């Protein structure tokens, strides 16, 4: 199946050429990577810039509920919150998307109808990815048929860690094909990939296979999005566009809970990939609790004080 990056078609011609390319990528200087991520995280921004950053971050949130206890009522409430995060202030931007399991896609679509909010759905046996390919593809087809605008798939980490890169590549391209017009986010579960070199390889593998976004995590393991692993992925999409002309989005997910965290990630985006990625078409936060803190900080900037604990709805 052809890659979306013609310049690299020879790379994906066989398992051996793909392996040679991925293992030929420059090794990651872990100390340098973490030092740069930490340094960028100390940047301070002024009040006017902070107000802009908060609104930008709100517009980048994929408001997420991925629990076994999800109900139609909970998903409808989440959809309403995504469309109008602060019912008392109509200047508050909507979030980018609501992210749910495939069986909740139709309910989510009804909840955001008439708005620009997208419906994203996790698929491919999320979060473990342990299923046969035909089962994974059926999962995706169900989500797309129900109206999903975006598909968040998980890679087979076992296959990747065993060095079966072409298997992972073929699964991503197959999912991309059945996703149709839905944008595809490829989740690596960076906390399970063990090394930064593996995260770099996974990033390039996902992009070569046609990912529209590369995403850090499911939010279901101990280590999720970090400034360092997100910085590494931002470098990958920057370098990929420089070589192919194709722009790929980045989505850190899991563990980003405060406005301070979100601003740090936006600084990473601006300083690493550049302003072209400072848009919710190219950068997202996978989060559930982050939105509440952004709303409280937004109100603090506007009024000089925090409201009571009932100012925002509890997810």
State the catalytic residue, choosing from 215, 261, 264, 293: 215
State the catalytic residue, choosing from 149, 152, 156, 212: 152
Strands 183-187 and 150-154: parallel
Contact 97, 62 (CB under 8 A): yes
Tell me if residue 264 is catalytic.
Answer: no
Question: Beta-strand (E) ranges in the chain?
Answer: 61-64, 97-100, 118-123, 150-154, 183-187, 213-215, 249-251, 285-287
Length in residues, the chain: 315
Tell me if residue 152 is catalytic.
Answer: yes
What's the distance, CA 207 to chain centroid?
14
Query: Cα(131)–Cα(216) distance, rounded to whole angstroms?
Result: 20
Spatial CA neighbour of 144 closest among 187, 102, 186, 98: 102
- φ/ψ region of 51 (left if φ > 0, alpha if ψ in -120 to 50, else beta) reads alpha
Angle (CA) 105 110 113, round 5° = 115
State the catalytic residue, choosing from 176, 185, 251, 264: 251
What are the catalytic residues?
152, 215, 251
């Amino acid at each position: 199946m052809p890659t979306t990056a013609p310049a690299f078609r020879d790379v994906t011609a066989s398992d051996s050429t793909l392996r040679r390319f991925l293992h030929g990528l420059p090794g990651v200087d872990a100390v340098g990577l973490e030092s740069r991520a930490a340094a960028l995280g100390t940047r301070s921004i002024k009040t006017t810039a902070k107000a802009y950053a908060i609104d930008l971050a709100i517009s980048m949130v994929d408001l997420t509920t991925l629990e076994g206890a999800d109900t139609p009522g909970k998903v409808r409430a989440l959809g309403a919150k995504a469309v109008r995060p602060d019912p008392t202030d109509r200047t508050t931007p909507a979030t980018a998307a609501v992210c749910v399991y495939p069986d909740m896609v139709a309910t989510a679509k009804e909840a955001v109808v008439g708005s620009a909010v997208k419906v994203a759905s996790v698929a491919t046996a999320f979060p473990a990815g342990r299923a046969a390919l035909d089962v994974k593809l059926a999962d995706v087809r169900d989500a797309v048929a129900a109206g999903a605008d975006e598909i968040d798939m998980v890679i087979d980490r076992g296959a990747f860690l065993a060095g079966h890169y072409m298997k992972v590549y073929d699964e991503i391209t197959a999912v991309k094909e059945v996703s149709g017009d839905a944008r595809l986010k490829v989740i690596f579960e960076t906390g399970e990939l063990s090394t930064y070199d593996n995260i770099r390889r996974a990033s390039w593998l996902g992009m070569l296979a046609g990912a529209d976004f590369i995403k850090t995590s499911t939010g279901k393991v101990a280590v999720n999005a970090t400034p360092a692993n997100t910085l590494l992925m931002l470098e990958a999409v920057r370098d990929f566009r420089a070589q192919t002309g194709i722009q790929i989005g980045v989505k850190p997910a899991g563990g980003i809970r405060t406005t301070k965290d979100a601003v740090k990630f936006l600084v990473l985006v601006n300083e690493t990939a550049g302003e072209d990625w400072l848009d919710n078409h190219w950068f997202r936060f996978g989060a559930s609790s982050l939105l509440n803190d952004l709303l409280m900080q937004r109100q603090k900037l506007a009024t000089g004080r925090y409201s009571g604990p009932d100012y925002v709805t509890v997810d």
